[in-house]
Amino acid sequence: MNREKIVFAFFIMLALTLNFGFFLGDIDQPEHHSVYELYAAIIVSLIATVMKLGDRTHVGAVLLATSLVADLQLIIAAIIWGAMTHLSDTGMTPHAMASIVSLSAGALLANITSVVLLIVETMTVRH
């Protein structure tokens, strides 16, 4: 077994599952979505992105693009959360929470695409 591929797949799957865990719940209810899970999803997603930087294949480029999309959407979601919590007079509103969860859903779709590409690439590799 290739340890590098195991670690790579681990971080891709962990990014997907953390994002999915954050996404679950009523879209406009802040108590259904943990800010710590969002930040964990961002950190793991960024680690997965860094791991994809060395791959020079076409599939590697697509994996990197999907990871960058997920990173961008999760970071924007965190910025909105921080702004609503610390800068807004109204605090976290259902509308803002819905925007955060919607951005997480977009990142989730990018994560699912990464996992599907990883599985397809694994299935096509011949020893």
pLDDT digits 0-9 by tens, 60-99: 899 999 999 999 999 999 999 999 999 999 999 999 999 9
Structurally, the chain folds into a number of domains equal to 1
Crossing angle for the helix pair 3-23 and 35-52, to the nearest 10 degrees:
150
Give the model's confidence band at 127: pLDDT under 50 very low, under 70 low, under 90 confident, else very high: low
- State residue 2's pLDDT score: 83
Cβ proximity of 73 and 46 under 8 Å: no
Worst-scoring range by mean pLDDT, 8-12, 28-32, 116-120, 122-126? Answer: 122-126
Provide φ and ψ at 53, rounded to 5°: -65, -30
State which residues form the domain around 36: 3-124
Assign 5 a pLDDT band (cuts: 50, 70, 90).
Answer: confident
Query: In the predicted model, what is the mean pLDDT of residues 14-41?
Result: 94
Phi/psi at 107 (nearest 5 deg)?
Answer: -65, -35
Contact call for residues 95 and 84 (beta carbons, < 8 A): no
Structure tokens at 72: 């961008």
